Amino acid sequence: MITRPSRDGAAVRPGASPRVRARVLALSAVPLVVLLAVVGLAPLPYSVARPGQTTDVLGSDRGGEVISISGASVRETSGQLRMAAIQATGPQVAVRVGEVIDGWSRTDRAVMPKDAVFPAGLSDAEIARHNLADMKSSQHAATAAALALLGKDPGRVKVKLALDGVGGPSAGLMFSLGIVDKLDGDGSGGDLTGGRSIAGTGTIDADGTVGAVGGAALKTQAARRDGASVFLVPKAECAQVRPAPAGLRLVPVTTLKGAVQALRALAKGGAVPSC
């Protein structure tokens, strides 16, 4: 007897009854259902990120000052300088296809390859140590950049930075600005913040160069959620953070000096660049 394949690959006899055809189609659909179930349950090599915490570097964290300075007079400050972070699923967390699809459909989520978020081949504990080392290196660079900008002697002025629960180098710019505000304000007796809540992100080199970071768009959402009205963003990432959350002004920066100049102008109602 000659049979012809149906569209799904099952063999159906010519002239078979509708009931037989239905049984064949149902049986041929079983492997597809099983395949979809396996795909749905299999972990994928992605991390799903969302807006994380923001912390005022001019304030305190877990009972202690985020920025402590000795060897120079320190100003009383008003306003806030908030570093912003993202929260991402860890490298050992199994991310399923449903979470990936959900993340792709939402503006408050970002789906990224795990290797783009975490160093490959490391355990959770090793990654935590790696991020802590990056944070410490960033703090040293932030201190060096701020003191150099102000012409302060690092041998006399000692800065201690303490922020728990956050790793990586992306708070460098905000640490530097916090040091500048505590030591010099806007340079004319006022606050560098102008009394506003300023948030931002960006790495910092000892020479004051501001570098790009990951998850900047999610960080703008965290900043606005926590009351910031201005967000400092590495200029190279302007396209990634547009459009900004309603009520949040985006200010692009490339150097610590440029960021300080922008905040001073903003405090005085002057012209400030925008993304």
- pLDDT value at 36 more than 80: no
Within 8 A by CB and 6+ apart from 78, the residues are 191, 193, 195
pLDDT of residue 32: 40
Nearest alpha carbon to residue 196 among 95, 242, 264, 130 = 264
Does the pLDDT value for residue 18 go beyond 80? no
Per-residue pLDDT, averaged over 96-114, amounts to 85
> CA–CA separation, 13 vs 23, rounded Å?
12
Q: What pLDDT sits at residue 207?
A: 98
Could you tell me which residue, 110 or 45, shows the higher pLDDT? Answer: 110
At residue 43, the pLDDT reads 67
117 within 8 A of 218, measured Cβ to Cβ: no
Q: Exposed, middle or buried, 243 (CB in 10 Å: 0-12/13-18/19+)?
A: exposed
The fraction of the chain above a pLDDT of 70, given in percent, is 84
pLDDT at 127: 77
Q: What is the mean pLDDT of residues 60-83?
A: 95
- Residues 221-237, mean pLDDT to the nearest whole number: 97
> What mean pLDDT is reported for the chain?
85
- Give the whole-angstrom CA distance, residue 241 versus residue 238: 6
pLDDT band of 126, cuts 50, 70, 90: confident
Does residue 127 or residue 76 have the better pLDDT? 76
**Overall average pLDDT of the 202-206 stretch:** 97
- Do residues 249 and 230 lie in contact, with contact meaning Cβ atoms separated by under 8 Å? yes
Please indicate whether residue 140 or residue 28 has the higher confidence score (pLDDT): 140
- H/E segment holding residue 183: helix 172-184
Q: Per-residue pLDDT tens for 145-161?
A: 999 999 999 999 999 99
Question: Which of 33-37, 62-66, 258-262 shows the lowest mean pLDDT across its residues?
Answer: 33-37
Within a 10 A sphere around the Cβ of 27, how many other Cβ atoms?
A: 10
Mean pLDDT of 202-221: 96
Strand order, beta sheet including 249-253: 110-113, 46-56, 80-88, 197-200, 230-234, 249-253
Q: Give the model's confidence band at 205: pLDDT under 50 very low, under 70 low, under 90 confident, else very high.
A: very high
Q: In this structure, how many other beta carbons lie within 10 angstroms of the beta carbon of residue 218?
A: 25
Query: Stretch 191-213: mean pLDDT, rounded?
Result: 96
Looking at residue 10, its pLDDT comes to 43
- At residue 212 the predicted structure's pLDDT band, cuts being 50, 70 and 90, is very high
**% of residues, the chain, pLDDT over 90:** 58
Per-domain boundaries in the chain:
4-41, 52-88+123-267
- Comparing C-alpha atoms, which of 147, 127, 24, 132 is closest to residue 9? 24
Q: Measured between alpha carbons, how far is 223 from 82 in angstroms, rounded to an integer?
A: 8
Q: What is the dihedral of CA 131, 206, 208, 180, to 10 degrees?
A: 90
User: What average pLDDT does the segment 183-200 reach?
Assistant: 95
- The CATH number for 52-88+123-267, chosen from 3.30.230.10, 3.30.750.24, 3.40.50.300, 3.50.50.60, is 3.30.230.10
This prediction has a pTM of 0.80
pLDDT at 26 over 60: no
Residue 9 has pLDDT above 70, yes or no: no
